[in-house]
Chain A
């Protein structure tokens, strides 16, 4: 559906860089050489993709678990759909929230429609932030649940294109189980 937003040349480029940029002096030249583009083309295309918002950000992608941010809570609320916009914007004014989304409900199993993520170094710290968030902005009048992460079975960047998966990706390294 939305892949219509990019042309085949852009798709080739995004496929080529989804595993990361090479750590060499001229990474864009090297990427371009692999897919028949000049260094200049690659830079122009990336700038344009960023401008159009297809690329949200470019830079160093950190793995927060490895940095000691091992506790994370997903907090979900069930509220009338017409109020989600208002409360979503209230929630993100809290600096503690890393992500906030409206999501589809799965009735009757899971009625929740507003989600946010809170990350911290320890469960207690995250719990305090969760309480602060829940008690803010009169959002505690809606049914909610707090889901702490227990075990992490996998964490890596998203692969949007199925070709060109690096070999390590299917290896045991990504299947490890790490206790919180």
Chain B
């Protein structure tokens, strides 16, 4: 793990949920951590600059707003980087991983409508020449409480 101060660790562990819904939320967080608001804002900015946090914000429940699906493709090894770059071009794609399987490119698509989702899939298929499989969620079994750090 990168060098995180004890303050960073507390900040990351204690505030992945229950962001204070008050006019001055960062002041409320700072008070709980025993630091000044300005220091807290600097820490958050620095963690964001280093890419350790992507943002301070909201995670929406899948299926409540917009539509999303897990998708996968079977791509020959020599074409993988090129197809991955093509997939990444779409802002609707948020995660995109190579995995050790014959079906080797796995990504998550999120869009405001089913129509847009299918349009993106069709475009990826026609530009790459490979089929895109869709595995939409039917039921979640876990409540996302963030990511515990130790």
On A, residues with C-beta under 8 Å from B are 1-3, 5-6, 11, 14, 17-21, 23-29, 39, 43, 46-47, 49-50, 53-64, 66-69, 72, 74, 84-85, 88-89, 91-92, 97-106, 109-110, 113, 115, 119, 121, 145, 147-162, 165, 169-170, 174-175, 177
Contact = CB atoms under 8 A, between A and B. Distances in A.
A40 B26 CA distance: 16
A84 B106 CA distance: 22
Given A20-B56, A150-B100, A39 B23 contact: yes
Contacts of A63: 51-54
8 contacts: A23-B56, A60-B11, A61-B16, A62-B16, A67-B52, A92-B142, A102-B137, A158-B60
B91 interface: yes
Closest 9 CB pairs of A and B: A20-B55, A88-B141, A160-B66, A57-B17, A58-B19, A154-B96, A100-B141, A68-B1, A158-B110
Contacts of A24: 41
B64 A18 contact: no
Nearest to A13: B58
A61 B27 contact: no
B36 to A, nearest CB: 12
Interface residues of B, number: 86
Interface of B: 1-2, 4, 11-12, 15-19, 21-27, 37, 41, 44-45, 47-48, 50-61, 63-68, 70, 72, 81, 84-85, 87-89, 91-101, 103, 106-108, 110-114, 116, 133-147, 149
A50 B61 CA distance: 10
A51 B74 CA distance: 41
Contacts of B63: 2
A43 B21 contact: yes
A98 B27 CA distance: 31
B12 A60 contact: yes
A149 B84 CA distance: 14
Contacts of A154: 87-88, 93-96, 107
Contacts of B140: 99-101
Nearest to A95: B148
A53 B54 CA distance: 22
B44 A60 contact: yes
Contacts of B70: 103, 115
B10 to A, nearest CB: 11
Contacts of B15: 59-60
Contacts of A89: 141
B17 A58 contact: yes
Given A57-B145, A153-B96, A66 B23 contact: no
A67 B133 contact: no
A155 B84 CA distance: 12
B60 A55 contact: yes
Contacts of B44: 23, 60
A43 B66 CA distance: 22
Contacts of A151: 84, 97-98
Contacts of B17: 57-59
